[in-house]
Amino acid sequence: MTASSKLENRLATRQAASRINGLGIQEAARKRRWGSKKPGAWAGSIVTSESRSVFVLVSQEKWDKTRTYISDIQKEMRESQKGQLFHKSLERKRGFLIYVTRTYPSMVPYLKGIHLTLVGWRQGRDDEGWKQLTPEDWKLHDMNGKAPEKVCAVHRLENDIAALLTLTEAKEPPERRCEVKRLYIFIMDLEMRLRSDSILRFRR
């Protein structure tokens, strides 16, 4: 919710919350964060609204952890025999990287090598980890088997990790400008009250 002043922001937020509650969706004022240009972290991202735009980034701690995890995967690949990686450790790192990609979606395509490496041990997979069976045949195979302690890295993993290292080479977390896909405009009267029929909705 964006407004020209804190008072207008609070009134507009209250009106939006009332409409949400009217639809049966719980929105408690005690859980609400009031208007600020730097409200802090929310859902894994830090949001700022300065310089006439909205930006998101992660905390320095999460950024350092991201860089460390990616470097550790590359180091383990180079030091291991036949490119074998510990399955549990790689799975844990993948979970954290997926969390970070909510803020930096440009990293998403380069997690594919990790995904394929983690499932490459299953039946019906080629050397690159892709499925070879038809959907009908795939149902006949056991999907709940126990994963081995180590898995073999697929060929593309090396290039994916190199790309991730390039994207995270900055020592400080970069700001990503958010693209507005849906816009709601609340029109207020002279007495600073929101009119019930004053909501304009735009979609890009």
Please check whether residue 176 is in contact with residue 58, taking contact to mean a CB–CB distance below 8 angstroms: no
pLDDT the model gives residue 192: 46
How many C-beta atoms lie closer than 10 Å to residue 157's C-beta? Answer: 26
Question: What is the residue-wise DSSP string for 145-202?
Answer: PPPPSEEEPPTTHHHHHHHHHHHT-SSSPPPEEPPP-EEEEEEE-TTS-EEEEEEEEE
pLDDT the model gives residue 197: 47
**Closest to 67 in 3D by CA, of 45, 96, 44, 88:** 96
pLDDT, tens only, 180-189: 666 555 555 5
Which of residues 185 and 95 earns the better pLDDT score? 95
pLDDT, tens only, 3-12: 677 777 778 7
pLDDT, tens only, 131-176: 876 666 555 555 567 888 999 999 999 999 999 999 999 999 999 9
pLDDT the model gives residue 186: 54
Q: Is the pLDDT of residue 51 over 70?
A: no
pLDDT the model gives residue 159: 95
Q: How confident is the model at residue 57 (pLDDT cuts 50, 70, 90)?
A: very high
Q: Mean pLDDT over all residues of the chain?
A: 80
Which of residues 190 and 87 earns the better pLDDT score? 87
Question: Whole-structure pTM over 0.85, yes or no?
Answer: no
Please check whether residue 7 is in contact with residue 35, taking contact to mean a CB–CB distance below 8 angstroms: no
Ramachandran assignment for 64, one of left (phi > 0), alpha (psi -120 to 50 degrees), beta (any other): alpha
